[in-house]
Amino acid sequence: MSTDLILKSIINYASLDRLNVRDSDESASLIQTRGGDFEEFVKELFLDNNKISKQERLKEYQRIFSFQGATNNPPDLMFYNSYAIKINKKRTTRSIIPLNSSHPRDAISANDSLLKSDTREIEGGNWIKPLFYYIGEVENQYCKSMFIIDGACYTANEEYYQRLIKQIKSGVSEIPDVKMIKTKELGKVKEIDPLKVTDLRVRGMWNILHPLSLMKRFTDIDVSEYNILVVMKKDKFDLATPEMLSKLKNSDKLVVEECKWPNPNNLSDLFDVVIIKG
């Protein structure tokens, strides 16, 4: 499963023209996002050339992506026979990232309960796609910085969250004298008061800390010096073609280094990651 498209997006981001306004409130390098649409901005990073007509762009998106997102349902993008992308934009890198009813994921599969039926059937169904998070600091239609992180470096596996969800559901169901209703949410209780006119929905509203917090905990990198930071497992990085790896390593705007990173499922287990800075 090649990571060429992921690396292409990183190279394309780093090569964009920047407005260096170091003496103003917007002191970081700025990149204008077309119409403030950050998701569209991220999609264009995967193109060989974004200076094409709207019709050509649609055809290129169809060629690259097997799925281009559905409102309130994960993920935001999927590549054919490859990775999936979760896109988030924030006004600051110092805040939490709301995931709403979707728990953190290191990968997404056709069996995911939050997917719509037509999404499950993409590429013939029965697929599992490792997830990458693209998190932009966006203000006044400008992307001031980008953080890209491999889900396997950021979240525990699906089994961990499903076990927790099951425990919470079990706890709600054990409340005495309530009428439980089957639901995809954490719980749904009907007729909870003496008149039997009140229902209660128990919904998960998930948040996750910005990955910069992990970078500060696990590395000595001064994150304030960079406009793009990327963390991915080295074994995925090594799946890129020699041509793409050469383009990345020959870039005068990006630096590639390796370090150790704790496994989100077992902090005593360290694995090799690649960090790309620019």
Does 263 fall in a domain?
yes
Does 108 fall in a domain?
yes
Give the C-alpha distances (Å, rounded to integers) separating 249 from 3, 34, 238: 15, 29, 13
Q: Tell me the mean pLDDT in the region 14-21.
A: 61
Average pLDDT, the chain: 88
How far apart are alpha carbons 186 and 191 in whole angstroms?
Answer: 17
pTM: 0.89
- For residue 272, the model assigns a pLDDT of 98
Q: Tell me the mean pLDDT in the region 124-142.
A: 90
Does 36 fall in a domain?
yes
Find the domain containing 153 and state its range: 4-157+205-277
Does 68 fall in a domain?
yes
- For residue 139, the model assigns a pLDDT of 80
Does 170 fall in a domain?
no
How far apart are alpha carbons 154 and 88 in whole angstroms?
Answer: 14
69 or 156, which is more confident: 156
Kindly report the CA angle at 250 between 249 and 253, in degrees rounded to 5?
A: 90
| 29 pLDDT more than 80 | no
Count of structural domains, the chain: 1
- For residue 26, the model assigns a pLDDT of 37
Does 13 fall in a domain?
yes
- For residue 72, the model assigns a pLDDT of 66
Does 169 fall in a domain?
no
Instruction: Please say whether the beta carbons of 97 and 89 come within 8 A.
Output: no
- For residue 20, the model assigns a pLDDT of 30
Q: What percent of the chain has pLDDT over 70?
A: 91
Does 178 fall in a domain?
no
Q: Tell me the mean pLDDT in the region 93-109.
A: 88
